[in-house]
Structure 1
Amino acid sequence: MSNLHNELTKILNGKQLTPHFQPIVSLSQKKIMGYEALIRGPSNSPLHSPFNLFDTAERFNLSTKLEYICRELTIKRYAELTIKEKLFINVSPSVLLQPDFKKGETLKLLDQFGVDPRSVVIEVTEHQPIDDFQLMLEAVTHYRKMGFEIAIDDLGAGYSGLRLWSELQPEYVKIDMHFIQGIHNDPIKLNFVRSIQKIARSLNCNVIAEGIETEDEYKAVEQLGITHAQGYYFSRPTAIPLEKVDKSLFIVSSQPTQFNAIKAIHIAKFITPVSSETPISEVMNLFHSDGDLIILPLVDNNEASGIIFRDHFLFKLFSNRYGIELYGKKPIKSFIEKMPLSFDQNTPIELVSKQLTSTMRNDQAFIITNDDEYIGIGTILNLLEEITRQQIHNAKHANPLTLLPGSVPINEQVNRLLAANIPFSFGYFDLDHFKPFNDVYSYSAGDDIIKAVADILTHYIPAESGVVGHIGGDDFIVIFLGNDWLKCCENILNAFEKAVPNYYKDEDTKTGGIYTENRAGEKCFFPMISLSVGLVDPDSTSQCQSHVDIADLASEAKKQAKKIEGNSFFIHHRIATKNQKNLYHFTNQAVVKLHAVN
């Protein structure tokens, strides 16, 4: 123990610590927006790893001293590297509440090394319980007034993460990597992160997903609308920080949201840009000479660096009586407070809308690019007009009972997926014994059953996982876009089986069904309503030419499912031999493989 104490003392006295920087990436802008500073001890020391370093410091009551030295070395190195993006500094609550911190020691360091406080984010790392939330809130408010932003680290792993979030109302909240790793295969983690994203959106807070290591994890996070990400997938922490993320890592979600195939290029308008070095006086002359010029993009070397809005520009310029004299010769880039949002020209406008909403910014316009080069401006107004036009088109074909898309938009979606070679599965859901139930319990009760099916389908198939359609009567269609389509179908059948008794009288539930006339007018017993599902797997859909082919396969599989008593499904699976198919069905939690030859 004394050897570790001596080693730590030597490291602290000699400031033998090396800052490393890991990128934090904006998923909407597809670029690095900041770096989290992480500390490493000497490479030949048992305290090289941050865990050993900070654990040892805590044991010997040297945590505060260690954090101060880390902060000093980090800010110094950040300034030496002339990093323009934000700097995230880890600070424990106990240190945050220290009088020296509150008196402005960090501000002195920033001033010493020429770093703007507005570029620093204090990342509250909660490894111990917080005793006084009111004092914590006062401290955070004090730091905000100095220009700092606040982030909460490891949400979900600390002692009081949700309360800390509600009390501090940070600009950023980082979801602990436990909930991100394997998220694409874990519906519990997926729902947890989805809930966090919804809360963050309502609180005007940016979510950062930590610990992304794989392409599948990235896709899952991106599809949820998470705005920021961090992890080995993009870059490990390095002493010399990565300057740009490989653009190929930003895989645009292949999922066409809802039924919209319109791309961002459709709403792009080319506006002649000016350089960010253009004097403010020249920009004023441009606005003065052209009364229709509302937006002015700033572009250097074909890359957009900002957007100037006429009203905001003139207000800022003339709010001071000496505005022209003060600012006239300065470059227009000095008026830029934040990087504009940008989208590739091939981004579906539904995804553009989703990401704009997720960022919770009030931008009235955004950049549209081709290979990162400026090609035009998109405005919120034009985006809303196009989305509204699409929604009116879809509403014409929506089912009036469930308001789900009808056959026309479903067929359009299938054809687009086929044309884009995007893998998907297809399900045809049909109610068994629905007519007898409708006859006995009335059409109103039948409508309730149909709405129950719609609710269950949309619950288990959120927008990022697929598309649910209601093509008429008691027939539903599902386009599965995820890999878990089979498990999802099992969950739907189980949920429906549990829900059905709620729509029957107790005596009918006990007998397992109802007595009523069949189509021939004969008194018969009909079991309780169940679901039969015809499924077409991704290999089979990929071999189809249009929605007509897929509908034929799904209809045949549904007929086979209807031959099985109770909630069941058949999977049509086309194998290499063209004249064969494998059929599976699910009943009572069992999957049975059948063979058939056409």
Structure 2
Amino acid sequence: MPDLRKEIINILDGKLLTPHFQPIVSLTHKKILGYEALIRGPSNSPLHSPFNLFTTAERFNLSTKLEFLCREITIQRYADLDIKEKLFINASPLVLLQPEFKKGETLRLLDQYGVNPRSVVIELTEHKPADNYEIMRASAKHYRGMGFEIALDDLGAGYSGLRLWAELLPEYVKIDKHFVHSLHNDPIKLNFVRSIQSMAVSLNCSVIAEGIETQEEFKAIEKIGITNAQGYYFARPTAVPVKEIDKALFAIEQDTDCKSAPFNNATTAVQIIRDITPISAKTTISDVMNLFHHNSELTILPLVDDNIASGIIFRDKFLTKLFSSRYGIDLHGKNPIKMFIENTPLCIDKNMPIDLVSKQLTSLMTNDPAFIITHNGEYMGVGTLLDLLAEFTRQQIDNAKHANPLTLLPGSVPINNQINQLLANKIPFGFGYFDLDNFKPFNDVYSYDAGDAIIKAVANTLIQYIPAESGRVGHIGGDDFIVIFTCDDWLTRCKNILKAFESTVPSHYSDKDINAGGIHTENRAGEKCFFPLISLSVGLVDPVSTSQCQSHVDIADLASEAKKMAKKIPGNSLFINQRMAAKNSGNFQSFTHSATKLHIVN
């Protein structure tokens, strides 16, 4: 068993510590705000991990010596790396009470290595119960007196975090990672974090969410409006810190929405953009007041620096706060307007469909009358709820004009527009033409109401197996349906549709006709004929073939060819037209469906 006392003394005497730096990311500006310094012992030592290292130091009354050594090594390395962003250093308040504590030592180190104290943030942690708050208050006062900013670490993990927050009024508060882990699936955690963000706004404090490890956690944190984050999702602690965060990490949800945009709607956020000249978040409150005073029509001011929006100032809210007891022009006129920012503004990519914009605004339950419209994450302009509502209403009316009155599914016009948009954006998709067999004889014998019921059954089956995230279903008239497939398993879905429809058909016939396998009635020439039970024929065009088409007209031609071939096959069947993909090589695939299995027909 190793002698831990000897081990910790050897580490301290030999300065055998290595600082690692983990970035703290500004979600508002989509770049690194600063780095938290984390200490590691020698890799071959039982005290390599920070927990073992600091626990052992405390056990042998060496905590103060260890903390000062950590600080010295960290500041030296920070200076050597010439890091421009803020440095977050952990500090234990109890160290101030130790006899060997040296006042002013941190400032001496900063001066020695040429580091500006204003670039340092001291993270205070309180994990032990206490009857009073004198130690924490003394710590905050001590470090603030040196020009440092203060962060309250691990909020929610200590014994009296909320009271400390209210008394210390730190510049930053870090939410303990327990409340971040899987918060997107935990309503209690979501409400807790929302409350923290709300309190932070009222206390003019920035929140840092620690321990973000997944896309889902990041998305949840961003939607709540938290402005800073830290965790493995962005980067792990390293001896040589990363200098930039991959921009794609900030745009996951945006990219997903924009990729699915052509499948949902042809009208995007760019149609409602307002070109409003932004101002810097550093603009003084008195200057903003003058802008509003000299332009009575100005109601919205976006705050933008380096092409990144950090907030929106609304005229009415601004004036209300300015002339309230808390904000006065005489008292705060020279302060930057950023102190009025309550939440990170909702940013919408210009290519996001109008219906998805509406859905996102509804899910966030935002009361703000405007939002930012961006391109590749950079400011383009502003969108307002009024403009969004007007465009959404116009679009709904336009869609209603082209909807089938029986099924209310979109007709050929909106479907063709979406096909052309998919082709223009080079997004792969499959296409299907669904047509009923033996429909007219059934309609003649069982009445138009029965025929309408069969058509509705087809529509319901298609919608069931092709939800919005997998494609778009259209009804182009009579018993003809078309489908845009935006999913990879389009063929499997079609096979399932044939099975489901076949099981539905008997409910629309009499027992006599079911037993007979069909009906006897006149054909178009007036001759008595036997017609089998209604079935579904599907002509399909695969994504490779659609990608080689120029417009919806080319795709319609291919689908019609495939549908004609499918209708030559008895029963529920599908036929895949790969003429474009095979370059006229005759590569076709057809399938028929029986009650027990699918057959490939060569």
Q: TM-score, with normalisation over the residues of structure 1?
A: 0.67
Closer, same or farther in 2 for the Cα pair 1:411/1:78, shift >3 Å? farther
- Structure 2 equivalent of residue 237 of structure 1: 236
Letter in 2 for 1:246: K
CA contact (8 A) 2:24 2:36 kept: no
CA distance in structure 1 between the aligned counterparts of 2:451 and 2:413, rounded to whole angstroms = 24
CA distance in structure 1 between the aligned counterparts of 2:161 and 2:499, rounded to whole angstroms = 48
- Structure 2 equivalent of residue 65 of structure 1: none
CA distance in structure 1 between the aligned counterparts of 2:429 and 2:316, rounded to whole angstroms = 47
> Are 1:499 and 2:521 counterparts?
no
- Structure 1 equivalent of residue 600 of structure 2: 592
Structure 1 residue corresponding to 2:300, chosen from 285, 295, 304: 295
CA contact (8 A) 2:37 2:89 kept: no
> Are 1:402 and 2:425 counterparts?
no
Cα-to-partner distance string for 1:100-149 (whole Å, 9 max, x where unaligned): 499999998996885566x977699xxxxxxxxxxxxxx99999999887
Closer, same or farther in 2 for the Cα pair 1:495/1:591, shift >3 Å? same
Cα-to-partner distance string for 1:375-426 (whole Å, 9 max, x where unaligned): 3222121122122222222211111111111011111211222222222111
Structure 2 residue corresponding to 1:456, chosen from 442, 453, 461: 461
Letter in 2 for 1:335: F
Q: Tell me, what secondary structure is at the counterpart of 1:580?
A: coil
CA contact (8 A) 1:295 1:308 kept: yes
CA contact (8 A) 1:553 1:572 kept: yes
- Structure 1 equivalent of residue 286 of structure 2: 281
- Structure 1 equivalent of residue 267 of structure 2: 262
Closer, same or farther in 2 for the Cα pair 1:322/1:347, shift >3 Å? closer
Q: Offset at 1:366?
A: 1.9
- Structure 2 equivalent of residue 558 of structure 1: 563
CA distance in structure 2 between the aligned counterparts of 1:499 and 1:226, rounded to whole angstroms = 46
CA distance in structure 1 between the aligned counterparts of 2:120 and 2:443, rounded to whole angstroms = 68
CA contact (8 A) 1:575 1:582 kept: no
Q: Offset at 1:451?
A: 2.0
Moved more, 99-108 or 340-349: 99-108
RMSD: 5.3
- Structure 2 equivalent of residue 165 of structure 1: 187
CA distance in structure 2 between the aligned counterparts of 1:419 and 1:352, rounded to whole angstroms = 22
Structure 2 residue corresponding to 1:378, chosen from 374, 378, 383: 383
Q: Tell me, what secondary structure is at the counterpart of 2:586?
A: strand
Q: Tell me, what secondary structure is at the counterpart of 2:366?
A: coil
Q: Offset at 1:318?
A: 1.5
Closer, same or farther in 2 for the Cα pair 1:449/1:148, shift >3 Å? farther
CA distance in structure 2 between the aligned counterparts of 1:464 and 1:580, rounded to whole angstroms = 33
Q: Offset at 1:343?
A: 3.3
Structure 2 residue corresponding to 1:389, chosen from 379, 383, 394: 394
CA distance in structure 2 between the aligned counterparts of 1:375 and 1:266, rounded to whole angstroms = 12
- Structure 1 equivalent of residue 489 of structure 2: 484
CA contact (8 A) 1:32 1:245 kept: no
CA distance in structure 2 between the aligned counterparts of 1:445 and 1:288, rounded to whole angstroms = 68
CA distance in structure 1 between the aligned counterparts of 2:242 and 2:91, rounded to whole angstroms = 10
Closer, same or farther in 2 for the Cα pair 1:45/1:383, shift >3 Å? farther
Closer, same or farther in 2 for the Cα pair 1:209/1:266, shift >3 Å? farther
> Are 1:423 and 2:431 counterparts?
no
CA distance in structure 1 between the aligned counterparts of 2:507 and 2:35, rounded to whole angstroms = 53
Letter in 1 for 2:402: H
- Structure 2 equivalent of residue 343 of structure 1: 348
CA contact (8 A) 2:38 2:237 kept: no
Letter in 2 for 1:308: I
Q: Offset at 1:508?
A: 4.6
Closer, same or farther in 2 for the Cα pair 1:294/1:400, shift >3 Å? same
Letter in 2 for 1:586: F
Q: Offset at 1:309?
A: 0.5
Q: Which runs of 5+ in 1 are unaligned?
A: 58-68, 90-94, 125-138, 173-205
Q: Tell me, what secondary structure is at the counterpart of 1:479?
A: strand
Letter in 2 for 1:592: I
Closer, same or farther in 2 for the Cα pair 1:437/1:211, shift >3 Å? farther
Identity %: 51
Cα-to-partner distance string for 1:551-591 (whole Å, 9 max, x where unaligned): 11101101111222332211111366633332212334446
Q: Offset at 1:328?
A: 1.6
CA contact (8 A) 1:123 1:153 kept: no
Letter in 2 for 1:237: R
Q: Offset at 1:22?
A: 7.8
CA contact (8 A) 1:234 1:249 kept: no
- Structure 2 equivalent of residue 473 of structure 1: 478
Q: Which has the larger radius of gyration?
A: 2
Equivalent residue runs for 1:6-25 within 5 Å: 21=22
Letter in 2 for 1:585: S
CA distance in structure 1 between the aligned counterparts of 2:446 and 2:529, rounded to whole angstroms = 16
In the alignment of these two chains, the number of paired residues is: 500
> Are 1:366 and 2:371 counterparts?
yes
Cα-to-partner distance string for 1:153-200 (whole Å, 9 max, x where unaligned): 3479xxxx7xx636974558xxxxxxxxxxxxxxxxxxxxxxxxxxxx
- Structure 2 equivalent of residue 153 of structure 1: 181
Q: Tell me, what secondary structure is at the counterpart of 2:339?
A: helix
